[in-house]
Chain A
Amino acid sequence: MNHILDTLLVILLLSCFLLLGTSRLAAAVRMTAVQGFMIGLLPLAIEGGEIRLRVAILAALIAVLKAGVFPWLLMRTVRSAGTTHEERPLVGYGLSTLLGVAAVGAAFWLDSRLPFSAEAHSKLVVPVAFSVMATGLFLMVARRTAICQVLGYLTLENGIYIFGLAIVSGIPMLVELGVLMDMFVAVFVMGIAIFRISREFDHIDAAQLTSLKG
């Protein structure tokens, strides 16, 4: 059992709860930054003793992007959009947190029915990956502001990345870099999109984008 790895994973879970429980956009963005940093450290924790250069580069890249560039971009969007709080979420924060715990439970159950954990580095990796993914999807559905939805997308991606770490030992570097690049562009594009939406509508409440129907 790898103590550092487990601690990282538990912090990841906690960051999910905090994401679910906060209404302040800036705090949520910071929480995603923490999550990104933990994600960056994960490959190092999994490698344990000897750390290969490739893994180190990847870890550094991920940490810089997810804990530095993305939060910076999103923080700028938060400031320029002039919204500080998520108002009127579709699901309240208390209930969201409880659902988060339920999701963790479900993730453990799901993991016990799937064969991945047997070969994973820690029994926690796969359930944590599932919970993080569920948190991301939930945020995208249950929050109204465009920023929270982007945060949800980022969290979903983080979950998928953890899952990838758990079950795949080596996806080629080229693909990993491509994925990372796409993530970067995705957040960048979404940031610009939020900016445009907020300029057009004077708000970033994506729930009011409902004129197109049928």
Chain B
Amino acid sequence: MNFWQTILPVLAALLLAPLLPGVIARVKAAVAGRRGPPLCQLYFDLWKLLRKGAVYSRTTTWVFRAAPGIALAALLCALPLLPAPGADALVSCSGSMFILIGLLALARFATVAAALDTGSSFEGMGGSREVQFAALAEPAVLLALAALARASGTCALGGMFAGTVGPLWQTAAPAVGLLAVALGIVLLAENCRIPFDDPNTHLELTMIHEVMVLDYGGPDLAFILYGAALKLWVFGTLLVNLLVPWQDAARPLAGTGVLIVGLVAVAIAIGLIESALARLRLLKVPQLLLGAGALAGLGLLLIVRL
């Protein structure tokens, strides 16, 4: 029983992650009055890309070829660390929050290294921006998780949410709200959503993430797209766990259902945000991320004091 309730979220992530970008695209299209692409567009894209061969530039080295695999592997490793609401994680060890951050950083490092490896100035620029913003976003996540760790007394992601978030909403609702906002901002930044980055842009000068992967095609691009979907799933899971203090010992399996519903809701929210906001000027991005860090820090302070 316990096994199923921990492995179900992982299976759901593997299967359903590519659905989230589809939901976002549909919401944006609906707001704009268009029909939009099918919900399963990313599945079709992935299937198409996987059947193709890859072409590599002669200036690139093994770093470039290894990067998509490493990045995807890191994200796949991150999945079992995450719990569904009310349940434990598949792999729950003390300090797994740091492992999660480390795995995300590893994926980012691989992508950035590959971007630099191409020797193209555009990709180098994208890499530099990615690292700059990540350097500001990572502390915000760490602070938010640290606040939860403090409240729950454990650094394991599995035990951090279940049984902690519920009471916390009752005693320190403002603080949890701050953490949620901080995590939400970081989610948008890390997943290259508006207002930080426009995933649909076609102007290399303003892109951040997309510009780094311009030289990929075929299965490599499929890995990268799938990895991006998983990353959205990872951050979404953290947010859902924080926002939904759902716990029902009688029906542990339902936690996965709650998680999926929550993630779809998050995707819809992202779609609405993307429809309502314009992309920020690049100079303003660090400020917003710093703000997220400030909110998370404030949340931590409040939780420490209460």
Known: A98-B294, A104-B298. A10 touches B174 (CB 8 A): yes
Cβ of B171 under 8 Å from chain A: yes
Cβ of A93 under 8 Å from chain B: yes
Residues from chain A with Cβ under 8 Å of B302 in the complex: 10, 124
Check A13 against B298 for contact (C-beta < 8 Å). Answer: yes
Choose among B177, B178, B287, B297 the residue that contacts A21 (Cβ–Cβ < 8 A): B287
Residues from chain A with Cβ under 8 Å of B290 in the complex: 21, 94, 97-98
Min C-beta distance of B176 to chain A, whole Å: 11
Known: A21-B287, A98-B294. A104 touches B301 (CB 8 A): yes
In chain B, what residue has the closest Cβ to A10? B174
Residues from chain B with Cβ under 8 Å of A104 in the complex: 297-298, 301
Known: A1-B171, A10-B174, A101-B298. A17 touches B291 (CB 8 A): yes
What size tier do the contact residues of chain A reach? 20 to 34
Residues from chain B with Cβ under 8 Å of A17 in the complex: 291, 294-295, 298
What size tier do the contact residues of chain B reach? 20 to 34
Residues from chain B with Cβ under 8 Å of A80 in the complex: none
Min C-beta distance of B269 to chain A, whole Å: 20
Q: Mark B156-180, 1 if CB is under 8 A from A, else 0.
A: 0000000000000001111101100
Known: A1-B171, A17-B291, A21-B287. A123 touches B306 (CB 8 A): yes
Task: Name 6 extra pairs, CB < 8 A, besides A17-B298, A100-B294, A101-B293.
Answer: A9-B174, A10-B178, A10-B302, A17-B294, A97-B290, A124-B305
Q: Which residues of B contact A (CB under 8 A)?
A: 171-175, 177-178, 286-287, 290-291, 293-295, 297-298, 301-302, 304-306
Q: Which residues of A contact B (CB under 8 A)?
A: 1, 3, 6-7, 9-10, 13-14, 17, 21, 93-94, 97-98, 100-101, 104-105, 108, 123-124, 127
